Structure 1
Amino acid sequence: MGAGRNTSLRRLARRVWPGANPLRRRTDWFEPVALLVLMLAAVMVVTLALMTSQSVLRDRLAAVQDEEASRHPVVATVVAEIRDQGSANRSLAVRWGQPPDEHFAVVQVPAYVRAEKTVPVWLDRDGQVTSAPSTRAEATQAAGTLGAAVLLGGLMALSIGYGLARWVVVRGRLSAWGAEWEWVEPRWRNHMS
């Protein structure tokens, strides 16, 4: 059992690494070296994707904390609905507070949200209407999306680069075989006659 496994490993090693085969060509060294470089580059791409994702997540979470600290919600009463034709959002005229500190504003809500009597309105430190703060889930999603884009883009670039390099080597190998055949074929034909 151990001997069969040993020969299988040797065969695999010979297939991947050309070794001292007297029939090997100079281009036979390309494939194992290119695979080694490709594996190292893939590890670097994965590391870069993780570092990018972590950096973006850290920045986004800091922005989320800042937004949460600088914004606060108030409950506003809907005064009127302003019709927007063909828009994904609806405009609502709202008011909050009591006279003499009563405030009015027009806010956008998604068209699929039902019109209620009250809606939450987010205010910044100056009391101006602003958007709701970002959530931790949105920060995580943005970091994951960017990390995945870096990973997929890097691996795609590596695959294309490897494929192009291999195409060049195979094309050169076929050209060399053609040149050798042009030299050998007349002699072989005369030898066979």
Structure 2
Amino acid sequence: MGPSGGRAARFWRWLHPGRNPLSRPGDRLQARLFVVLLLLVLLAVPVAASVGSETYAGRMEVAERDADAKHRATAVLLADAPVSMGVGELETTPVRARWQTPDGTTRTGEVAAYRGSTTGSRIPVWLDDEGNLTTPPVTTAAAATDGVSVGISVWLAVAGVCAAVFAAVHGVLHRLRLAQWARDWARVEREWTRH
């Protein structure tokens, strides 16, 4: 039997101690706990996929509403954007600009422009139905990314909790085994000193 067969056999014996006289109750408990937690992690896959799918569907509804309620426009800068950037500042800065609303009204306000942009630069912006600046609409790619991210996060959370439970139980059992080992050695030492 090759090395991988040996490892597989050892793993199977660890997972299923059976009636081995050398296996302790803690070994059986740990093996059963591992199987239960592994099943929970596997059962979490469809649950995580369902949660991710629901998130995707919700974000797609927002994307559809945004597509109807948000309009692309172009703002023209009325001033130069500052060039210098301090520590911790963003690459963009608010600059006074002018744009036209969907009904043709001209509005002015501050838009985010890259540092160093000059007067007259054209900046793409998004407007709501009233012509106010708003955030860009949710895209289908962003909705898909959110759905996948949430699904993976849910699965990782379940897997992490299961791993933490297994590690905690393993740690407790390991300390109990060491304590039993120390008691057994102390008993053997007393018997050896008598002879």
TM-score, scaled to structure 2: 0.76
1:168 CA drift (Å)? 0.5
Structure 1 gap segments, 5+ residues each: none
1:55 has 2:59 as partner:
no
With 171-180 and 116-125 compared, the bigger mean Cα shift is at 116-125
* Corresponding residue to 1:154 among 155, 158, 168: 158
1:109 CA drift (Å)? 2.5
Does the aligned pair in 2 maintain the 1:78–1:95 contact within 8 Å?
Answer: no
Q: 1:61 to 1:112 in 2, by over 3 A?
A: farther
Instruction: Quote the Cα distance in structure 1 between the aligned partners of 2:79 and 2:10.
Output: 79
With 43-52 and 131-140 compared, the bigger mean Cα shift is at 43-52
Aligned-residue identity in percent: 24
Q: Which residue of 2 aligns with 1:26?
A: 25
1:165 has 2:164 as partner:
no
The one-letter code of the counterpart of 2:68 is A
Per-residue CA distance 1:13-70 (angstroms, 9 max, x = gap): 3343111122332212122202101211211333333222222111111101111111
The one-letter code of the counterpart of 1:50 is A
1:111 has 2:114 as partner:
yes
Q: 1:176 to 1:92 in 2, by over 3 A?
A: same
1:10 CA drift (Å)? 6.3
Structure 2 gap segments, 5+ residues each: none
Does the aligned pair in 2 maintain the 1:122–1:131 contact within 8 Å?
Answer: yes
Aligned residue-pair number: 185
1:148 CA drift (Å)? 2.9
TM-score, scaled to structure 1: 0.76
Instruction: Quote the Cα distance in structure 2 between the aligned partners of 1:178 and 1:39.
Output: 32
Instruction: Quote the Cα distance in structure 1 between the aligned partners of 2:113 and 2:151.
Output: 29
The one-letter code of the counterpart of 1:103 is T
Per-residue CA distance 1:122-143 (angstroms, 9 max, x = gap): 2222333322212222222223
